[in-house]
Amino acid sequence: MITEALHYLATLPVTGKANRRFIRYSINLWSRARRCSREWATHEENSRTAILSAMDGLRQKRTALVLGSGLLRDVPIDALSKSFDTVVLVDLLHVASVRLWLHAKGYRNVRLIERDLSGYDEVAAGQNADPLGFLRTVPYLDFVVSANLLSQIGRGVKQRIEAEQPNGMPDDTVARLLGAHLSGLAALPCRTCLLTDVSYAVIDRNGKTHEEADLLHRIAPPAARANWSWPVAPLGEESADYQIIHKVIAAY
């Protein structure tokens, strides 16, 4: 707990005021990733491999942009930095440990941007959601990765709607924003790579499934080139009797 508290305090001053409320979630994710590093290793390696496969054969490698860069555990940042002139990492916030690690590694061509990628505020204002519209202003963009972000957008939007009731948001807000993210990626004139978990199951230690859910709210993702299971909460993480397994796809 002391380590988490120090990490929180270190992240606070380097995070914009609008996004400071998300720091605790990011620190909790950082902490879980450390505890579950062995169980998450295959998922992280599969994610990095998919990104490398997606960028293979690109004729131009000027700017690469990663949406939902997070802790960078699932992003081959070294290969991206060496391959592209500029690498842009976009997320709600970038925790202090990630900032320090990037600085220590000397990645001088890596840029960090804080941005809400959900499109929630546009829908709240009665506008058509275009959460990835800003990518049209990024010069020399040759590669875009959505890194295990899509389902997190759905989760965050759902929680925000529930917390702000009554707020007049349309009933289909979550599905609308997930669809906007996918259509935004599909419309880009450059190479893209989508990594996302699409469903989860709660399974007991005997292998019996007790609960399943669609994480994309019936929005169909593009055809997958690869898929795998990710033990987001292995046995002992949230319960001694149950584990939570997510199904992940890679589309590029």
Query: Total structural domains in the chain?
Result: 1
Query: Which residues, 6+ apart, have CB-to-CB distance to 133 below 8 Å?
Result: 184
Q: pLDDT value at position 59?
A: 95
Whether 87 contacts 144, CB under 8 Å: no
Establish if 25 belongs to a structural domain: no
Cα(75)–Cα(72) distance, integer angstroms: 5
User: Cα separation of 61 and 15, whole Å?
Assistant: 30
User: Does the residue 88 lie in any domain?
Assistant: yes
Where residue 65 sits, what CATH number does that domain have? 3.40.50
Supply the DSSP string of 164-202, one letter for each residue: T-S----TTHHHHHHHHHHHHHHT-SSEEEEEEEEEEEE
pLDDT of amino acid 173:
96
Q: Give the pLDDT score at 167.
A: 79
Indicate whether this model's pTM tops 0.85: yes
Residue 16 placed within a domain: no
Q: Residue 140 domain-assigned?
A: yes
Instruction: Determine how many CB atoms are found less than 10 A away from the CB of residue 71.
Output: 18
* Tokens representing residue 175 in the block: 């599905």
3-state secondary structure of 24: helix
Has residue 72 been placed in a domain? yes
Predicted local distance difference test score (pLDDT) of residue 60: 97
| Distance (Å, whole) CA 190 – CA 145 | 11
**Residue segments in the chain with a per-residue pLDDT below the cut of 70:** none
> Token pair for residue 232?
């987001």
| Any domain includes 181 | yes
According to the model, what pLDDT value does residue 17 have? 93
Query: What pLDDT, on a 0 to 100 scale, did the predictor assign at position 166?
Result: 80
In a domain? residue 54? yes
3-state helix, strand, coil split of the chain in percent (to 5) is 40, 25, 35
Look up the domain containing 194 and give its range: 38-251
Question: Is residue 165 in some structural domain?
Answer: yes
Q: Is the peptide bond before 166 cis (omega within 30 degrees of 0)?
A: yes
Answer yes or no: are the C-beta atoms of 181 and 117 closer than 8 Å: yes
